[in-house]
Amino acid sequence: MKYFALMALAALPLSACIADETPGAADPTDTCGRTGYSSLVGSNIAAVTLPADKTIRVLKEGQPATMDYLEQRLNIETDEDGIILRLYCG
């Protein structure tokens, strides 16, 4: 009986980590607002205008980067030609 109680207690914190899959629900992992910039994927970085008051880091694919995590920072990954490949927070 004690074993089952311990298992139930151990699983409790994990339930808080499950993302809300309700259609239209806000993405809890989108701490930097990347969904608002998703239309930029496929564009050339030189042709886009980005807000000056936002923390943004532009990296080329495979480029080394610091491992500091800033949840509000928008990272923009480009290829060698400057085409935006992906957006992610951190």
Give the model's confidence band at 21: pLDDT under 50 very low, under 70 low, under 90 confident, else very high: very low
- Asked whether residue 5 carries a pLDDT value surpassing 80, the answer given is no
What is the predicted pLDDT for the residue at 25?
A: 53
What is the predicted pLDDT for the residue at 12?
A: 43
Q: Which two tokens stand for residue 76?
A: 């923009």
What tens digit of pLDDT does each residue of 26-75 get?
Answer: 788 899 999 999 999 999 999 999 999 999 999 999 999 999 999 999 99
What's the mean pLDDT in 8-37?
62
Tell me the whole-structure pTM to 2 decimals.
0.69
Burial of 89 (0-12, 13-18, 19+ CB in 10 A): middle
